[in-house]
Amino acid sequence: MVWLLDDVYDTKHRAYMMREKEMKLEPLKIRYHGVSGPAMPYDERYTPYIKQAGLLPWIQLVSRSMPNLNAPLVSGLADRWRSETHSFHLWTGEMTVTLENVSLITGLAIDGMPLCMSIDSDGWREQMIALIGMAPTEAEADVEEGEEKKKRERKAAGAAFTWIQTHFATCPPDATDDVIQTHARVYMRYVVSRSLFPDSTGKNAPWMWLKELTVFHSKWSWGSATLAYLYRQLDDACCRITDSAGIGGNMLLLSPISSSRPGDIELEPASCAKRAAKEEMLKGFFHMFATKETVQVTPEQVEWQPYGADDRLGYTPEFSINPMCLRDRDLWLMRCPLICNWAVEFHLPHRVFRQFGLFQPHPPEWVDTDKALHRLDRRRQRKIKDWDKHHASYVTRF
């Protein structure tokens, strides 16, 4: 007999700590950033190169604007996430983020090569200079201004967002094609690091994402990598209990599951400081209320297919979806490993067939999500550089 909840995860889980240990946990801090605005404006001359890289639908979306994210609501969902099944466990049953959500929300390709390669950072400054013409020096802040020296020494290979904004915010009007390509490559790295794969600090653009963009037409499966990274962030976040605990990944993908949310509480006009203090005071209430609302959703309240169904998929009275979002429709139900360098996470749509308008067998077939895979981390396994070789069997399966 297979037990659904594994003690390896359960005894560290936020829900366990709140239920059994009666701990009062703070909402998770969202490590996800918008990219619109004057700090790093989009330039139409980048478009051909971004299209070659397969990132155009997502970048056109986020370069305009992004919705504000509700940290207590995201925390309420993370509290219901189970790494054993890669799904949210609710009263109404299991729900999860699927490849369908990725396609219809981001427009990123599912078909393609798994995003898995060597992330060896030896000599990364020299490689960065060869690729984009410059790199932050050791004396220069490849960390945010004001951080302690000790923290700088632990920083992963990469450049601070502020450094990128300082040197690549604007492409010269008379730029040559080579200069435009360089700025386009840096812009893509900036967007990818802030919105698709934000790390736990939310301040640094790792070198590896620039390395992935060395060749524009690499045909990466950006969509499956985005979902793998989000799953791994949820795996980690559901076991974080410190006041400074955060969560990264593409939070926009949680929007179909978080449609039932607490109503907004009107805050009285006040100074910024007073307003911030009041919002901070309400965070705990929001988290408690969001958790309760998320748990108590009933099947009748769930819109299982918010994008439409069958021939009307993507064409609802409210909106019509770009046909590009439907190009990988045949892949949405595949059970496979999703890969993002060190992160290998299993896509298990058979556990949430109702989200596809299909009959849901109960219990669904058990698939082991592999505790050994969940323990792999680029910081803890620094000696592993060639993730494509380490995960060769999963790359082949994908």
Task: Judge contact between 200 and 380, C-beta under 8 A.
Answer: no
Helix (H, G, I), strand (E, B) or coil at 351: helix
Task: Judge contact between 254 and 290, C-beta under 8 A.
Answer: no
Share of the chain above pLDDT 90, in %: 40
**Of 76, 39, 102, which is closest to residue 250 (Cα–Cα)?**
102
Please give the residue that has the higher pLDDT: either 226 or 363.
226
Please give the residue that has the higher pLDDT: either 229 or 379.
229
pLDDT mean over 220-242: 94
pLDDT given at position 244:
87
Please give the residue that has the higher pLDDT: either 40 or 138.
40
Mean pLDDT of the chain: 81
149: pLDDT confidence band, cut at 50, 70 and 90?
very low
Residue 338 has what DSSP assignment? E
Separation between Cα atoms, residue 235 and residue 77, nearest integer Å: 12
At 99-122, the pLDDT tens digits run: 999 999 999 999 999 999 888 888
Separation between Cα atoms, residue 242 and residue 244, nearest integer Å: 5
pLDDT given at position 38:
78
pLDDT given at position 155:
57
pLDDT mean over 264-283: 35
For the cut 90, the answer to whether the pLDDT of residue 46 exceeds it is yes
At 279-328, the pLDDT tens digits run: 443 344 345 444 555 556 677 778 888 888 877 787 766 667 788 889 99
Please give the residue that has the higher pLDDT: either 85 or 137.
85
